[in-house]
């Protein structure tokens, strides 16, 4: 029973242990949190840097727009005649530390009056950035992408006083420093995330070991648990759910052991009751086996008393009396061997020998009822490990059932051989009769306790149930094939190596 449960447990393979699930969950949780946190930091930092450069670019273009506007105003009123002053402003601006890509002064038709690139002088800009700057009477910033410079922030301010406008001042700022800063921040966050994940993995691994160690102990004890032997209490003393589970398991194991002990006692009582019932069924045959030698011994004694001086006759009759006593002793000894209540002992058993012993007890009953015995025993049959008395009781019960099934006589065939099933070696015992058979509707119930098809008083209904219990306790199996009027075939498989 226990070995079957253990084998079933061994078929279950752990793929995702609690430890792996715990570590994976915590690690993924940290990664997700760090990803969202990193994204938030990067977006926030990018917005802050953009706001900073927009403010700085707006302040710069505003501050430069004032002197440039004054130049146009002074030229208009005739206070200034030098044309190079605007170019000086632009050239000085380009020498600043700001990441400035270009600076230009445009008239009201977007024609270049002054440009940091002298080649652009006189050019007319018709692009949307220039159009928006021309239309606006406020200082504005616009972002666009250039195939040579990448992302560019264009800051523009109108060169105007009141409703009088002379043109537009535009300065282009490179956004590459911001992108480089964001890129560095990305790698810093990635490195920080990996570091935190590794640290968390190490810490979680230690914590998970402490968490799952009691569970591992519990699993090991579950696999080793046997209802046939006591075990030491679990070395789990935690005050959490695992400790509660360990206590519940201890209680369950103790109840199982007690239940198994009670069940074993009940089973032993059933086996004993069935054995006594079998002895009663054997009584008529045993009485005949004893009465025949006794009658012969009485005749011998009578003849000796009639001629006490005949020493030759007395010696011959004493030998016959001795033979009769030996036969009676043999019959009684066999019956005592079968009926005695010995503790269960698993040892090497010769199945052929056990079958022959039980046939000897039934020999008279079979011959009296005209039942022929056909033995087809494998002489090379291996020994099995089991309790000989229990197996003999199972064999005897099946033979008695065959006897009852053939009231008008018949043939009882007993075969043994070695077979292989499910990659294991078995000793196979087949007990076949030519009796009344069993209806197919009854086949599923014949191994039920107290189920019998015999008349009241002729059977306990425990024979086949006890047989099945004995065979299964030897890790074997018993099967039956039968049809009404066609006899029955009982097949027993006993493992060569068991217990």
> Can you give the residue ranges of every domain in the chain?
23-181, 344-499
For 267-319, how does the pLDDT look when each residue is reduced to its tens digit (9 = 90+)?
Answer: 666 666 655 555 555 555 556 556 666 766 777 787 778 777 777 777 776 77
In the predicted model, what is the mean pLDDT of the chain?
Answer: 79
Amino acid 32: pLDDT: 86
**Ramachandran class of 372: left when φ > 0, alpha when ψ lies in -120 to 50, beta otherwise:** beta
> What is the distance between the alpha carbons of residues 131 and 348, in angstroms, rounded to a whole number?
107
Q: What is the mean pLDDT of residues 236-242?
A: 66
Query: 3-class SS at 2?
Result: helix
Predicted confidence (pLDDT) at residue 118 exceeds the cutoff of 70: yes
Q: Flag the least confident range among 59-63, 191-195, 199-203, 442-446.
A: 442-446
**Quick one: fold of 23-181?**
Beta-Lactamase (3.30.450)
Amino acid 361: pLDDT: 78
Residue found by looking up tokens 């019959």 in the block:
331
Q: What is the mean pLDDT of residues 415-427?
A: 90
In percent, the amount of the chain with pLDDT more than 90 equals 24
In percent, the amount of the chain with pLDDT more than 70 equals 77
- Pairing mode of beta strands 410-421, 424-433: antiparallel
**Quick one: fold of 344-499?**
Heat Shock Protein 90 (3.30.565)
Burial 117-140 (b: 16+ CB within 10 A, else e): eeeeeeeebeeebbeebbeeeebb
Predicted confidence (pLDDT) at residue 74 exceeds the cutoff of 50: yes
Residue found by looking up tokens 């004694």 in the block:
301
Q: 191: pLDDT confidence band, cut at 50, 70 and 90?
A: confident
Other CB atoms within a 10 A radius of the CB of residue 498 amount to 16
Amino acid 332: pLDDT: 67
Amino acid 457: pLDDT: 47
Contact between 464 and 472 (Cβ < 8 Å): no
DSSP annotation of 442: G
Q: What are phi and psi of 423, to 5 degrees?
A: 65, 20
Amino acid 6: pLDDT: 40
Give the residue, 68 or 246, on which the prediction is more confident.
68
pTM for this predicted structure = 0.44
């Amino acid at each position: 029973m226990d070995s079957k449960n253990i084998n079933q447990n061994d078929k279950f393979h752990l793929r995702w242990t609690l430890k792996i699930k715990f570590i994976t969950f915590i690690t993924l949780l940290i990664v997700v949190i760090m990803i969202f946190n990193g994204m938030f930091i990067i977006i926030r930092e990018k917005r802050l840097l953009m706001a900073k450069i927009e403010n700085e670019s707006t302040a710069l273009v505003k501050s430069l727009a004032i002197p440039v506007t004054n130049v146009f105003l002074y030229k208009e009123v005739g206070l200034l005649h030098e044309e190079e002053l605007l170019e000086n402003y632009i050239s000085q601006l380009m020498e600043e530390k700001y990441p400035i890509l270009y600076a230009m002064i445009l008239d009201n038709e977007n024609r270049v009056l002054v440009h940091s690139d002298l080649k652009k002088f006189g050019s007319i800009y018709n692009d949307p950035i220039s159009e928006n700057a021309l239309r606006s009477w406020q200082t504005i910033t616009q972002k666009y992408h250039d195939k040579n410079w990448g992302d560019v922030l264009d800051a523009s301010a109108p060169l105007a006083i009141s409703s009088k406008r002379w043109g537009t001042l535009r300065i282009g700022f490179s956004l590459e420093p911001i992108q480089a800063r964001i890129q560095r921040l990305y790698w810093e966050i990635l490195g920080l995330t990996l570091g935190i994940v590794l640290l968390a993995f190490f810490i979680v691994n230690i914590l998970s070991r402490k968490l799952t160690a009691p569970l591992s102990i519990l699993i090991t004890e579950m696999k080793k648990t046997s209802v046939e032997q006591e075990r030491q209490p679990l070395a789990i003393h935690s005050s959490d759910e695992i400790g509660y589970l360990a206590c519940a398991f201890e209680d369950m194991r103790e109840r199982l052991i007690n239940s198994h002990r009670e069940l074993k006692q009940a089973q032993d009582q059933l086996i004993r009751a069935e054995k006594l019932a079998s002895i009663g069924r054997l009584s008529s045959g045993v009485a005949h086996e004893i009465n025949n030698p006794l009658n012969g011994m009485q005749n011998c004694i009578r003849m000796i008393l009639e001629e006490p001086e005949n020493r030759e006759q007395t010696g011959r009759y004493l030998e016959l009396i001795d033979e009769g006593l030996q036969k009676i002793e043999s019959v009684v000894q066999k019956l005592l061997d079968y009926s005695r209540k010995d503790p269960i002992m698993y040892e090497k058993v010769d199945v052929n020998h056990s079958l022959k012993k039980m046939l000897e007890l039934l020999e008279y009953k079979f011959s009296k009822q005209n039942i022929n015995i056909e033995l087809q025993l494998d002489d090379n049959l291996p020994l099995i490990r089991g309790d000989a008395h229990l197996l003999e009781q199972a064999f005897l019960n099946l033979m008695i059932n065959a006897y009852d099934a053939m009231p008008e006589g018949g043939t009882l065939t007993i075969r043994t051989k070695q077979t292989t099933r499910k990659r294991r070696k078995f000793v196979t015992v087949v007990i076949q009769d030519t009796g009344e058979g069993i209806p197919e509707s009854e086949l599923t119930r014949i191994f039920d306790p107290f189920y019998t098809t015999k008349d009241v008083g002729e059977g306990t209904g425990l024979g086949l149930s006890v047989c099945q219990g004995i065979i299964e306790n030897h890790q074997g199996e018993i099967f039956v094939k039968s049809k009404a009027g066609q006899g029955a075939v009982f097949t027993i498989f006993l493992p060569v190596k068991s217990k």
